[in-house]
Chain A
Amino acid sequence: DVKVTQSSRYLVKRTGEKVFLECVQDMDHENMFWYRQDPGLGLRLIYFSYDVKMKEKGDIPEGYSVSREKKERFSLILESASTNQTSMYLCASSLRAGYSNQPQHFGDGTRLSIL
């Protein structure tokens, strides 16, 4: 079974702080993704990565950056947290780049509150 692990279930930070959200997958998946989910807006893609040290912007990258130094780990960074970044953050992974019909496997999510 695929396991995607996010470092925290709940996190409270202050405006202006630098925030790190960590995600690790144990199935040697090539693709990793960060989403945020907000009521009425669904899941929105922030950044994704198809390989180590590779990153691509998703639909809403502003205010975020990512790091993929190792294949199994994909980090989301909020450089200077703001209250509009309060959300549920979901990490996902899938098997291999360039192949269609591959589902994504999600971590439990991190509920981040910025005060």
Chain B
Amino acid sequence: RKEVEQDPGPFNVPEGATVAFNCTYSNSASQSFFWYRQDCRKEPKLLMSVYSSGNEDGRFTAQLNRASQYISLLIRDSKLSDSATYLCVVTTTNFGNEKLTFGTGTRLTIIP
């Protein structure tokens, strides 16, 4: 089983719709969670951290479910500019050293 798994998509969603995708992780000792966004041929950029209580940043909501070992990202009122690949990132700390594991990404295309 992969350490971090994401549905690769593609998700093709009409502009203005709400879209959500999940990411599952296998290591129950994982401590920190992030969503990154990567545009075509560009580097990944941090979208948001994911906190235990869930958190919101404008149209974006991230949630963590430790019992089921998954994180989710919800995008409301989607814009054309939201088209990108969304990477789930999970951090595990082992003897003081952090290890980040990236999912392979979910590709999202917003259709006019």
Q: Mark A82-115 against chain B: 1 for CB-CB distance below 8 A, else 0.
A: 0000000010001001111111111111000000
A14-22, A37-45, A66-74: which lies at the B interface?
Answer: A37-45
Task: Count A-B contacts at CB 8 Å.
Answer: 54
Q: Is the CB of A106 within 8 A of B97?
A: no
Q: Mark B38-79 against chain A: 1 for CB-CB distance below 8 A, else 0.
A: 000011111001000000000000000000000000000000
Q: Is the CB of A105 within 8 A of B46?
A: yes
- Does B112 make an interface contact (CB < 8 A)? no
Min distance, Cβ A111 to any Cβ of chain B, angstroms: 8
Partner among A41, A102, A103, A108 whose Cβ is within 8 Å of the Cβ of B43: A108
Min distance, Cβ A101 to any Cβ of chain B, angstroms: 4
Partner among B32, B43, B93, B96 whose Cβ is within 8 Å of the Cβ of A107: B43
Dominant secondary structure at the B interface:
strand
Min distance, Cβ A22 to any Cβ of chain B, angstroms: 16
Partner among A35, A50, A101, A106 whose Cβ is within 8 Å of the Cβ of B49: A101
How many B residues touch A, CB cutoff 8 Å? 22
CB within 8 Å for A108 and B42 given contacts A42-B102, A42-B103, A100-B31: yes
- Chain B residues with CB under 8 Å of chain A are 8, 31-32, 34, 42-46, 49, 87, 91, 93, 96-100, 102-105
Closest A-B pairs by Cβ, 3 of them:
A42-B104, A106-B43, A43-B102
- Chain A residues with CB under 8 Å of chain B are 31, 33, 35, 40-43, 45, 50, 56, 90, 94, 97-109
- Having A33-B100, A42-B105, A98-B93, one finds 15 other A-B pairs with CB under 8 Å, namely A42-B103, A43-B44, A45-B99, A45-B100, A97-B96, A98-B96, A98-B97, A101-B32, A101-B91, A103-B49, A104-B46, A105-B46, A106-B43, A107-B43, A109-B42
